[in-house]
Structure 1
Amino acid sequence: MRITILADTHMPRMAKVWPAALLPHLEQADHIIHAGDLQDSRVLDSLASFAPVTAVSGNIDSPELIDTLPKKQLLTFHGVKVGVIHGHGKGKTTEQRAKAAFEDEHIDLLIFGHSHIPIHKEEADLVLFNPGSPTDKRRQEQFSFGELIVQEDGTWYLKHIFYKDKKG
């Protein structure tokens, strides 16, 4: 399975169309995960035209999305357990809030957003992953998103995809 991982797209404010570097990954995706701050329900509809989508609400999402999308999701792909949350809130860091939301679950991979800062690290038996943003890099050097490949035997590979220009 090829899974494209997004967060913090903030569309249409930060982009009117999907970045050229992201499009081929959306077109080849078997599944898309969005870790919140889509901003507009049309973004969810657009993603669903490429592949099935699992999304969570973020703090900048429209009232419609906040009412429709859960705050967190638990998924399993060929035995790999994945937790998804945006990570906003008060107190602690984004990463700490994300981990706390799944402290009673055994997951292999925790995907979160909110900070727009790409993170890929392992703590004990948990991999933490923030894809960054494909449209709003803020103070980051490049735009980014993630790709998760899960084999039928449960082995998996995760990486960031970085690019400098969201238009071309």
Structure 2
Amino acid sequence: MRIIILADTHMPRMAKVWPSALLPDLQQADHIIHAGDFQDRRVLDSLSSFAPVSAVSGNIDSSDLIEELPKKQLLTFHGLKVGLTHGDGKGKTTEQRARAGFEGEAIDLLIFGHSHIPVHKEEDGLVFFNPGSPTDKRRQEKFSYGELIVNEDGTWSLRHIYYEDKKG
């Protein structure tokens, strides 16, 4: 199962169309995960045309998305337990807020967004992953998103995909 992981797309403000570097992976995805800050409902609708989408709302999403999407989700793919949240809020770091949202829950992977900073690390057996942003890199060198491969036997791999130009 090939899952594309996005966050902080901020469309259409930061891009009018999907970056050409991302588009082939969206077209080949079995599932798409979005960790919030779509900005506009049309972004979710567009993603849904590629593959099934699991998503949470972010702090800049439109009111209809905030009403429709949860603030956090628990997902399971071939036994892999995934926590999904945006990570916004007051106090602590984005990672700390994301972790606090799943305190006491048995998850293998925690996916979050908000900071636009790519993160891939493990602490105490939990993998933290922020895909960065495919359209709004802020102070990062490159735009980014994630790819999660989950095999039927429960093994999995995770990586960032980086690129320099969100247009071409």
Amino acid at match of 1:65: L
CA shift for structure 1 position 141: 0.2
CA shift for structure 1 position 97: 0.1
Structure 2 residue 163 is matched with structure 1 residue 163: yes
SS in 2 for 1:137: coil
Which residue matches 2:152? 152
Give the alignment of 1:76-87 within 5 angstroms.
Answer: 76-87=76-87
Structure 1 length-normalised TM: 1.00
Which residue matches 1:40? 40
Structure 2 length-normalised TM: 1.00
Amino acid at match of 2:31: H
Give the alignment of 1:114-153 within 5 angstroms.
Answer: 114-153=114-153
Amino acid at match of 1:67: E
CA shift for structure 1 position 105: 0.6
CA shift for structure 1 position 79: 0.1
User: Could you report, residue by residue, the CA deviation over 1:68-122 in whole angstroms, capped at 9, with x for unpaired residues?
Assistant: 0000010000000000000000000000000000012100000000000000000
CA distance in 2, matches of 1:120, 1:66: 27
Structure 2 residue 63 is matched with structure 1 residue 63: yes
CA distance in 2, matches of 1:83, 1:150: 15
CA distance in 2, matches of 1:126, 1:104: 12
Which residue matches 2:20? 20
Amino acid at match of 1:115: S
Unaligned runs of 5+ in 2: none
Moved >6 Å (runs of 4+)? none
SS in 1 for 2:145: strand
Q: Identity of paired residues, percent? A: 82
Which residue matches 2:95? 95
CA distance in 2, matches of 1:82, 1:29: 17
User: Could you report, residue by residue, the CA deviation over 1:49-73 in whole angstroms, capped at 9, with x for unpaired residues?
Assistant: 0000001000000001000000001
CA distance in 2, matches of 1:2, 1:73: 19
SS in 2 for 1:47: helix
Amino acid at match of 1:15: A
Which residue matches 2:107? 107
CA shift for structure 1 position 124: 1.2
How many residue pairs were aligned?
Answer: 168
